[in-house]
Amino acid sequence: MELLFGRRRTPEELLRQNQRALARAVRELDRERQKLEAQEKKIIVDIKKMAKQGQMDKVRVMAKDHPCP
């Protein structure tokens, strides 16, 4: 029977496996957050650049699309 299902993992192995999965998920979320923050900064810079050029129609559209704090 043991050969069919593989060997049973110890609680320490299960804990390590779960901790690794959790750490991997946290890193993935951090990367996603950093990407979103960079994208937000880029949009803000673009809005300011267009406002300086006097393209207020485009600025209004971008500002409505971008929920900035």
- Here the tokens at position 1 are 């029977």
What pLDDT score does 6 carry? 74
pLDDT at 20: 98
For residue 66, the model assigns a pLDDT of 77
pLDDT (0 to 100) of residue 63 = 84
Q: Please tell me the distance from the alpha carbon of residue 62 to that of residue 7, in angstroms, as a whole number.
A: 57
Which amino acid makes up residue 28? Answer: E
pLDDT tens for the 69 residues of the chain, in order: 555 677 888 899 999 999 999 999 999 999 999 999 999 999 999 999 999 999 998 888 888 887 765
Closest CA to 62 of 37, 50, 33, 52: 50
Instruction: Let me know: does 39 contact 62? Beta carbons within 8 Å.
Output: no
- What pLDDT is recorded for position 39? 92
